[in-house]
Amino acid sequence: MPSTFDEIFADLPVMAIFRGMEPQRCVELAERAWAIGLRCVEVPLQGPESRQGLEETVKLGASRGHLVGAGTIISVELVRQAAEAGAVFTVAPGFDPEVAEASRAAGMPHLPGVATASEVQRALASGLTWMKAFPATVLGTGWFGAMAGPFPGVRFVATGGIDADNAAAYLQAGARVVAVGSALRDDSQVDRLAPLLRRLRSRGRSSAILVGHAIGMLIEAGPFRTMPASRPANPRWAASPSARTLPTGPATRLRPRR
C-alpha cells in the first residue's frame, strides 16, 4: 500500500472528491471514476452518513486495488475515525500541526490546505511537501507559478472549483494534481474527465513533466543574463550553435526537452 503522496499520485494527476453524498452515491461514483482510470478518490468525513460512505468506498476500493482517502479532517478525533474506516491518507481545508502529526502517527500521509505563502512556509517547516491549494479557482492559475519561485520543492493539489473544463489549465499552470469535487454532482463530469485522462496517458505527460513545463515558461519570462565564462563548460551547451543564457536568481531550472 502506498505510504507517500509521491506514490499515491504516481499513476495519474487527477483525484475525485465525493462530498455530501449518500453512501450508495459515493460507491456508484467511485466505480465510475475507477472505470475511466481515476485510481485515487477522497470521501470527506462530515457526519455519520459520510463515515458510512467512506467505509463502504474503502472496502470496495481495497478489493480492487484502488486508493481512498478521508477529507475535511480538521481534528485529531477525525484522524482517528479516518484510520478506523481504513483511509489511506487524510486531507484538510487548512493547516493544523496537531492534525498533521496525528495523521502521520497513524500511518496516513496528510494533505493540508494552504492559500498563502505564510501557510505554505509553516506546513513546509512541519515536514509536509504536498499541500492542497484551496480554493484553487479563487487563487487562480497564476498562484501556482508564483509559489514555485520561493517553494520549488512543494507539490500542490489544486482543489476547489476544479472541473472537466478547467482541470487541464491548472495542471499546465503548475499544479501536480487536480482534485474534482463539487462538480461531480453533475453526472456528466466523470465522463467528461475521460478525454483529459486519455490525453495525459497518450502524451506520456506525467505530473512532473507538466510542472517542469510550467517552470520552464516562468524562466522564459524572467530576467536573463549570459552564463559567466568562469563557469565550467557543459558539452550540451557548447554544442549549441547559438549563445545560451541562464536566469538570474538562486535556483536555476532548465526547460524540459519536448
List active site positions: 42, 132
Exposure string of 124-143, with b = 16+ CB inside 10 Å and e = fewer, is: beeebebbbbbebeebebeb
CA–CA separation, 48 and 42 (whole Å): 16
* Torsion on CA atoms 250, 117, 7, 105, rounded to nearest 10: 120
All cell numbers assigned to 141: 492559475
Please give the DSSP secondary-structure letter assigned to residue 216.
Answer: H
Q: Considering only CA atoms, which of 180, 169, 127, 111 is closest in space to residue 145?
A: 169
Contacts with 116 (C-beta within 8 Å, 6 or more apart), sequence order: none
